[in-house]
Amino acid sequence: MFFVLIPMSFSFAQFSSSIEAIYIQPIGGFSNWFDLHYSGTVYIGEVKDGGFIAGKLEFYKFYRENTKKLFYKDLELELKIYGLGVEYRHMLGKFYFVDFYGLLGTGIYRWFGLRGEYFFKDSEGNIIDYMDANRQQDWSAGFCGGFGIGVNVLKKLSFNFNARYQIIVGEMWQTLALRLEQASGFQWVGAQAGMQFKF
């Protein structure tokens, strides 16, 4: 994908790169496992005809358990996601130096999930039951959509702010003994911000 997008950038339009950070709120069944999260995305692509199309490299590491919803508050959970995809931002309107755009994206993701080992103890502190750790890994497709604004502070530099919904079609298994429900679909809403450079 990058080998296709990068030559297009040099041939047709303005080459661009962007680095953006994202504040994530898990939703749906995914929110029963994990709490708020922070991450980032790198974009490389082109600005052309009022739009921005780019390849993107993503990484997410969810490790903050949602202790408000988990029955066993000390249960260790972790999810690492590596993604490679493409995103298109289409300009919807312009007001002086501010651009309004909608965005759509898709990608392929490699993910690794962990539900840690757990001990059950009696009133005297003796271990009466033990559950081994459960590890999962898989490939999944993902999709995102949202709206944002771009603030053009210089001819070659702009700041982007957007709100988005994202879902990765993965599944982390339930553990009934730990009262842990299945998470079907890793989905979240996020507020994303960063800088875009045009060359």
Q: What percent of the chain has pLDDT over 90?
A: 78
Between CA 115 and CA 152 the distance in angstroms is: 44
- What does the alpha-carbon distance between residue 146 and residue 162 come to, in Å, rounded to a whole number? 7
Strand 127-131 with 98-115, pairing: unpaired
Alpha-carbon dihedral of residues 37, 67, 168, 50, nearest 10 degrees? -30
Q: Which pair of structure tokens corresponds to residue 105?
A: 């994206």
Over residues 111-156, the pLDDT tens digits come to: 999 999 998 888 777 888 899 999 999 999 999 999 999 999 988 8
What is the three-class DSSP state of 178? Answer: helix
Per residue in 41-68, pLDDT (tens digit) is 999 999 887 789 999 999 999 999 999 9
In whole angstroms, what is the distance from residue 131 CA to residue 38 CA?
Answer: 30
Indicate the pTM of the whole model: 0.87
The closest of 170, 112, 174 to 137, measured between CA atoms, is 112
> How far from the centroid of its chain's Cα atoms is residue 22's Cα?
8
- Domains within the chain, CATH numbers bracketed: 2-198 (2.40.160.20)
Whether residue 11 is predicted with pLDDT greater than 60 in this model: the reply is no
